[in-house]
Amino acid sequence: MCRALYKSWGRYEQIGLDADRIPHEAIESSIGGNAYQHSKVNQWTTNVVEQTLSQLTKLGKPFKYIVSCVIMQKNGAGLHTASSCFWDTTSDGSCTVRWENKTMYCIVSTFGLAI
């Protein structure tokens, strides 16, 4: 969850809540209970990103959104990610959602930039 990041959304705290909920829903509807299949990863990542972006846009808030998705097979390998932003901390924010099942990890990062 992104509770620690809600403050970074300033007066748009609800967007922070939605940026946590919406990717979870997109992951569940796109990947659900499937086992990792290399041939499906491109389709899954595209679906997760497009569904997340579509649902955030439907909120009708004055934001531009950036959404990224990583799907990785659970095989004991490590994965480290980082991002940095130069923005207005009173109105812009980010949220990273980590989801997993028995065979894979899915990490979705969402950035909202006030217009």
Alpha helices in 31-72 (DSSP H): 41-58
* Among 66, 67, 69, residue whose Cα is nearest residue 113: 66
Torsion of CA 74, 50, 9, 6, to 10 degrees: -40
CB 89 within 8 A of CB 10: yes
Domain 3-114 architecture: 2-Layer Sandwich (3.30)
Q: Which token pair is 57? A: 């846009």
Look at residue 10 in the predicted model and tell me its pLDDT.
55
Look at residue 11 in the predicted model and tell me its pLDDT.
57
pLDDT digits (tens, 9 = 90+) for 10-51: 556 666 778 888 999 999 999 988 999 999 999 999 999 999
* Domain locations in the chain as residue ranges: 3-114
Least confident of 2-6, 39-43, 96-100, 106-110: 2-6
* Among 26, 63, 76, 19, residue whose Cα is nearest residue 47: 26
Task: Let me know if 77 is exposed, middle or buried by CB neighbors in 10 A (0-12, 13-18, 19+).
Answer: exposed
At 67, the pLDDT band (50, 70, 90 cuts) reads: very high
Look at residue 17 in the predicted model and tell me its pLDDT.
75
